[in-house]
Each structure stands twice: as structure tokens, then as C-alpha cells.
């Protein structure tokens, strides 16, 4: 059985995952309208992945005797000056999500809720991957600079199956 404190914290995470999905969906749309097909596919896949994370938390809450809440979401940003700016925001957002997961782990340990702690370990590992991927992408973008040929290759490469999250 979840304590009210953990249930509230997990529901906050449901909200964060839902907003993450919306943010990446908006990034996908922006990319698509700017001829960045590979980046767009990558972002659509990221959006789907965040929705899966949200559902995972919701099911856990409900299975543990809580009540998962669906809440209103704030509209995400819809315009970016550059694709570099967009990926910088993606990285900052992943760091924000990691911090939220870490706070959840702290609450679970403080309340000695080892079932929730165990459940959250998957998210801890996932966020390590997400942050590393975002940092790796930013590193590549900085190498490209203003080179249009480099952007073309980056856009093509990011949709390849070896990039986590791409489809």
C-alpha cells in the first residue's frame, strides 16, 4: 500500500512524464516543418517513450492501492531558433527529469517503501541513458557548428536504429 506522500510524489511524476511527451511531440512537429525528417522521427519516438514511462508509473500507483491522476498539462514551447537550441532544451529537460526521479527515490527510502524504491530503479537507469544520449547528441551538434552538410548527415544519422529511441 502506498502512503499518501508517495502517491502524491508518484502522481507528480506522472505529470512530468506526460509533459515530457508533449514537449518532445512539439519538438517533433517543429523539426518536421523545418525539413528535419530524421530529427522529427527521433523526437516522435522520444515522445512515445515518455508516454510509456507515464503509463508505467500510473499502473504502479493503481496496483499499489493508490489512484493515478491525469492532470492538465501546460502547453509546450512550439518554436525554436535553431535545432541546436532545441537539443539544448532537451538535455536540460532530461536533467530535470533525473532530478525528479532522484527525489522520488529519496522519498521512497525515507519512508522505507522498498517496493517503490525497487520500482524506481528502472527509471534511475533509464535516466542515466537518456542524459548520456542527450549529451552525446549535443556534443555532435557542437562539432557540426554551422556546417549545412554536417546537419544533413546528422539528420540522416539520428534516425538510424543504433540511436536509442529512434524508429
Residue numbering of the annotated binding site for Fe cation: 17, 50, 53, 94, 127
Q: What are phi and psi of 24, to 5 degrees?
A: -70, -30
Q: How far apart are CA 93 and CA 91, in angstroms?
A: 5
Residues 76, 19: contact at Cβ < 8 Å?
Answer: yes
Distance CA 109, CA 50 (A): 25
Distance CA 156, CA 134 (A): 17
Cα-based angle 92, 93, 95 (whole degrees, multiple of 5)? 65
- Residues annotated within the binding site are 17, 50, 53, 94, 127
What's the CA angle centered on 57, arms 62 and 48, to 5 degrees? 130
Return phi, psi of residue 70, to 5°: -100, 120
Amino acid at each position: 500500500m502506498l502512503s499518501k506522500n508517495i502517491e502524491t510524489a508518484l502522481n507528480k511524476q506522472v505529470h512530468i512524464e506526460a509533459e515530457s511527451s508533449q514537449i518532445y511531440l512539439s519538438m517533433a512537429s517543429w523539426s518536421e516543418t523545418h525539413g528535419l525528417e530524421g530529427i522529427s522521427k527521433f523526437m516522435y519516438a522520444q515522445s512515445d517513450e515518455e508516454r510509456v514511462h507515464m503509463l508505467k508509473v500510473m499502473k504502479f500507483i493503481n496496483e499499489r492501492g493508490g489512484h493515478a491522476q491525469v492532470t492538465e498539462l501546460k502547453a509546450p514551447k512550439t518554436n525554436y531558433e535553431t535545432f541546436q537550441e532545441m537539443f539544448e532544451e532537451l538535455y536540460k529537460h532530461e536533467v530535470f527529469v533525473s532530478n525528479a526521479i532522484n527525489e522520488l527515490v529519496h522519498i521512497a527510502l525515507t519512508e522505507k517503501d522498498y517496493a517503490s524504491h525497487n520500482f524506481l530503479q528502472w527509471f534511475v537507469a533509464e535516466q542515466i541513458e537518456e542524459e548520456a544520449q542527450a549529451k552525446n547528441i549535443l556534443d555532435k551538434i557542437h562539432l557540426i557548428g554551422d556546417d549545412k552538410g554536417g546537419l544533413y548527415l546528422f539528420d540522416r544519422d539520428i534516425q538510424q536504429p543504433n540511436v536509442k529511441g529512434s524508429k
